[in-house]
Amino acid sequence: MEKNTTFDNKVQNKTLNWLLESDDMAVKYRTLTEICGSSKGDEIDNLLGSIWEHKSIQGMLKKQDENGLWNEKEYGSFTPLRYLTAFAEFGLQKDKRIEAFVNYSIETLSNEMNNDPSGCYTPLVLRALVMLGYYDRDDVKELIDKFTATQLYDGGFNCQRLLDKKPERKSCYKAAITALLLYAECKRKGVIIDNADQLIQYFTKRDVFYTSDKSKFIIEGRPGWRFIDNFFPVEPMRIGLPLTVAALSILGAGNHPALKKAWEFLNEKTDENGKLILDGTLTKQPCNFGKVGQPNKWVSFYALLAEKYKDQ
């Protein structure tokens, strides 16, 4: 693949310096730990403490009931996904302040997976649990194993609801993309999933965004799709380009020829300083991850993360 002309060293340094500015502690913390590789020291400890005191985090914690849970009226069945992902994206790790809700979420997911171990929701909740540091729990490992065992013959995934209607149907792109994010986070934590290569091939054979015969742009006309999306907490088909490319890079496909178009798309959305403008975000979420139409550190962070893993 031709050298990426947007993310040269000069631009990367500009982007990195911007992400390390002190106005957003969570982005700074994740940049230091996940891109720069810092893991110890007073600065890291102080940043983590500051994140727990962040108004968005404190606002969420104050909504907990006496059992450490959140009322599901606001987000319905998506409540565990919304809150777990919000904490995970802020870079937080396992903590007694959210332990009751984590236990509740794992139990709820386990019960739901008895009916549908696949789908879109399952891998996104598991991804959040992995990001939060709960990947070493036996019950989480069992859930990951149960989900990954539902991989279909074409390398992707589907939900049981669709398979019940048409058992022979191929994978669903939405389910495959959410599985991709889970597999990538598992790899970053040192958890290797045996059938990851088949999932990577699912995307490379379609140049990421196309049907398997490359005759049609698979996401064309899909409602809600915007390339530079910051749909945090993550929801199916509300997953933007930086997250997708970062996941594939983490899984070792960053330099695959099939990603040429994906890198071109990402370059087109990047300004001369390496900043990405936010195209869209959820209107209802536990905390604010940026304003539409403005340079956004979260999506720029994932773009830089993608670049970091591209050549590894």
**What pLDDT, in 10s, does the model give residues 88-132?**
999 999 999 999 999 999 999 999 888 877 778 899 999 999 999
Distance of CA 222 to the CA centre of its chain: 20
Residue type present at position 311: D
Give the C-alpha separation, 49 to 130, whole Å: 20
Residue 224 phi/psi, 5-degree rounding, is 90, -10
- 3-class secondary structure per residue, 63-91: CCCCCCCCCCCCCHHHHHHHHHHHHHHCC
* Tokens 């720069």, located at residue: 36
Q: Do residues 129 and 135 touch, judged by C-beta distance below 8 A?
A: yes
The conformation of residue 190, written as its DSSP 8-state character, comes to: T
Segment 107-117, tens digit of pLDDT? 999 998 888 77
What does the CA dihedral 262, 268, 269, 272 come to, rounded to 10 degrees? 130
Residue type present at position 239: I
- 3-class secondary structure per residue, 220-285: CCCCCCCCCECCCCCCCCCCCHHHHHHHHHHCCCCCCHHHHHHHHHHHHCECCCCCEECCECCCCC
Q: How high is the pLDDT of residue 23?
A: 82
Q: How high is the pLDDT of residue 138?
A: 97
User: How many Cα atoms sit within 13 Å of 241 on the Cβ side?
Assistant: 25
Q: Show the beta-strand stretches assigned E in 192-265.
A: none
Q: Do residues 274 and 304 touch, judged by C-beta distance below 8 A?
A: yes
Nearest residue to 237 via CA among 223, 216, 220, 221: 223
Q: Do residues 286 and 60 touch, judged by C-beta distance below 8 A?
A: yes
Segment 22-38, tens digit of pLDDT? 788 999 999 999 999 98
Q: How high is the pLDDT of residue 290?
A: 75
The alpha carbons of the chain give a radius of gyration, in whole angstroms, of 19
Domain 9-310's class?
Answer: mainly alpha
Task: Show me where the domains of the chain are located.
Answer: 9-310
Segment 226-284, tens digit of pLDDT? 455 555 545 545 677 888 999 999 999 999 999 998 898 888 888 888 888 887 776 66
Per-residue pLDDT band at 225 (split at 50, 70, 90) = very low
Segment 171-207, tens digit of pLDDT? 888 889 899 999 999 999 999 899 999 999 999 998 8
- Is it the case that residue 78 has pLDDT exceeding 60? yes
Q: How high is the pLDDT of residue 142?
A: 96
User: How many Cα atoms sit within 13 Å of 203 on the Cβ side?
Assistant: 31
Classified as helix, coil or strand, 294 is: coil
Q: Do residues 183 and 243 touch, judged by C-beta distance below 8 A?
A: no
The conformation of residue 135, written as its DSSP 8-state character, comes to: G
